[in-house]
Amino acid sequence: MKFKIILFLFFLIHMSSYAIINSNNLNNKKSELNIGFFYALKIGDPQKCPIIICSLINKQIFEGLVTLNGAGKIVPGAAEKWNLSSDGKTYTFYLRKNMKWSDGSDLTAHDFVYSIQRIFTASVFQRNTYVSEFIENGKEILRGKKPVSSLGVKAINENTLEIYLTQPTPILLESLSDPATFPVQKKNVEKYGENFILPQNIVSNGNYILKQYKNGKKVTLIKNKYYWNKNKNIIDKVNFYYYPDFHKLYKLYLNGKIDIISDAKMEGFKEIINIHSSEIIKVPILGGYFYYINTSLAPLNNKKLRQALSIAIDREELNRNVYKNLQTPLYHFLPYGLKNDFPAFPYWYYWSRDKQIEEAKKLYSEAGFSKETPLKIKVNFYKSELDKNVANNISNYWKNILGVQTEFEFKNSFKIVENHKTENFQVIKIETVANINDIYDFFNNHTSSNKLNISNYENPKYDSVVNKIMNEFDPIKRKELNHQASQILMEDLPIIPIFSLVNHYIVKPYVYNFKVNRIESFLVSEIKLENK
């Protein structure tokens, strides 16, 4: 499973599940939905834009071979069915007949071949695309040893596609639900280059088409009349709005001009929960709030010191003080709710708080520090009030319990993530959110060869276990391997887990079937509206 590095620019787009409510008064005529977000909207090439809002929009306007629906299930998309060979290394996808692009031209298996090959070109390749790890010849192509035409993807005919794998891969279907593998029209891309995604140029194949984009403040989607299942869409038009001011957005919600308010962690939300308790949707997502530690730099290359820093943090109190108990304290590396989840808790998890504090002091001393000779540490994070409040509380724990002297640097964390090999950072706050619901997504990013290994962590034993996780189909065996990998990470502690993320949305009573899965995506085509 892959994850997305998320910076706390304002708020992440977090979603949850809403039970289906039957209604005989659903609006099957002209309808419009308005959703408000707390951060700038973004559109982009589906194969190059990993930002969550960008991914969400692309899941409405493009459709892959398979689809991850709001309930978190893999269902047929452009492919109506598929088969897996007996050796587990060849997938055959049978595309729906007579599919069209939004310009009315035919969409075939050759379009998927082009699009998946495109992932492996230098101008497009995204290091967090899993298919590059297991499609036949993929690694050789990326190393320049073979041409992209040798990639293990073949159109057998107009409606049949085969994908050849180097080894049995249990996460293939999950990976194909990610926008990085969605089809883009070759002639459209070649004509407009990077501008093919703009509303006036775009040709897509999803439920909706991109009608309007206003400088990060508004996105408008309308129904795609050429979509193969266009009649299932109840909503004709959806508008995404960006409002950094919660009070303004909340007022629009009260006036009926906004139907859904995206994830809210802002001050005063506790009071709003009490007022709108029946309209609040709460769900854990597959995302975590972490402090990444640069394990390649002394003295943080000492795992006793890293353990002392982690133990000193009172996550329960931190959650009460900063988030008013709206998040879930996290003591291991896997957000709650992952498939085959069998995490290893730290050895001190069940101890009393007093005993934990004594252990933190002991490890801090064994690492060569004391209140007289304190550790001096710098923490990087984007300048947001929530991050600042979390950092201040954590620095107080470190200072009061251990004597650590903490310096803060408000910095664009994304630049550190992109250039961590050249950045001389010590600790950086990062939120990670899954692309697919599989334990491999989180574990793979800590392997020594992975470019997303921000903490520069290296452990050959850990690498070996994670490689086995990717190849193991048996859920019981995968669960045990998961536990082994988790145990190694808990002992070495290259990152400090703090929260498993929980999201809250405010949804109008007339919005039905608003189903949002744990990787923060939903389909507008699944939503229904009652006549207001």
Mind listing the pLDDT tens digit for each residue in 380-415?
A: 887 677 888 999 999 999 999 999 999 998 766 555
User: Could you please report the per-residue DSSP string of 426-460?
Assistant: SEEEEEEEESSSSTHHHHHTTSTT-TT-TT----H
Would you say residue 266 has pLDDT above 60? no
pLDDT of residue 8: 32
Instruction: Report residue 263's pLDDT band, with 50, 70 and 90 as the boundaries.
Output: confident
Extract the tokens encoding 529.
Answer: 């509206």
Residues 6 or more apart whose CB falls under 8 angstroms from that of 275 comprise none
Q: Is the pLDDT of residue 27 over 70?
A: no
Average pLDDT over residues 461-466: 95
Band of residue 46 on the pLDDT scale cut at 50, 70, 90:
very high
3-state helix, strand, coil in the chain (%, to 5): 30, 25, 45
- 477 pLDDT above the threshold of 60: yes
Q: Is 274 exposed, middle or buried (0-12, 13-18, 19+ CB in 10 A)?
A: exposed
* H helix runs in 33-100, sequence order: 52-61
Helix (H) or strand (E) holding 294: none
Q: What is the pLDDT of residue 9?
A: 33
Contact 511, 485 (CB under 8 A): no
Average pLDDT over residues 306-327: 94
> What residue spans of 255-338 are helical by DSSP H?
269-275, 303-312, 315-323
* pLDDT exceeds 60 at position 267: no
Task: Say yes or no to pLDDT of 454 above 70.
Answer: yes
State how far the Cα of 410 lies from the Cα of 43, in Å rounded to an integer: 26
Identify the pLDDT of residue 11.
33
Q: What is the pLDDT of residue 246?
A: 79
Q: What is the pLDDT of residues 498-529, one digit of tens each?
A: 999 888 889 999 999 999 888 888 999 999 99
Tell me, what's the pLDDT at 359? 98
**For residue 419, what pLDDT band results from cuts at 50, 70 and 90?**
low
Per DSSP, the three-state class of 528 is: strand
Mean pLDDT across the chain, nearest whole number? 87
Ranked by mean pLDDT, the top range of 18-32, 135-149, 443-457 is 135-149
| pLDDT in the model for residue 481 | 92
Helix and strand numbers (H, E) in the chain are: 16, 20
* Nearest one of 254, 390, 235 to 322, comparing CA atoms: 390
pLDDT of residue 20: 31
Is it the case that residue 18 has pLDDT exceeding 60?
no
Q: pLDDT by residue (tens digit) across 69-95?
A: 998 999 999 999 999 999 999 999 999
User: Between these two residues, 162 and 421, which has the higher pLDDT value?
Assistant: 162
| CA distance readout (Å), 140 to 48, 90, 136 | 21, 19, 9
| pTM score above 0.75 | yes
Point out the least confidently predicted range of 145-154, 263-272, 391-400, 462-471.
Answer: 263-272
Q: Which pLDDT value is given to residue 107?
A: 98
Q: Are 97 and 147 in contact (CB under 8 A)?
A: no
Q: Could you tell me the end-to-end alpha-carbon distance of the chain, in angstroms, rounded to an integer?
A: 41
Q: Where residue 264 falls among pLDDT bands split at 50, 70, 90? A: low
Q: Identify the H or E element spanning 417.
A: helix 413-418
Structure tokens at 37: 């977000």
Task: Report the C-alpha gap between 224 and 333 in whole angstroms.
Answer: 41
Q: Is the pLDDT of residue 252 over 90?
A: yes
pLDDT of residue 16: 34
* Confidence band for 156, pLDDT divided at 50, 70 and 90: very high
Residue 111 is encoded by which pair of tokens? 């379009």
Residue 470: pLDDT band (50, 70, 90) is confident
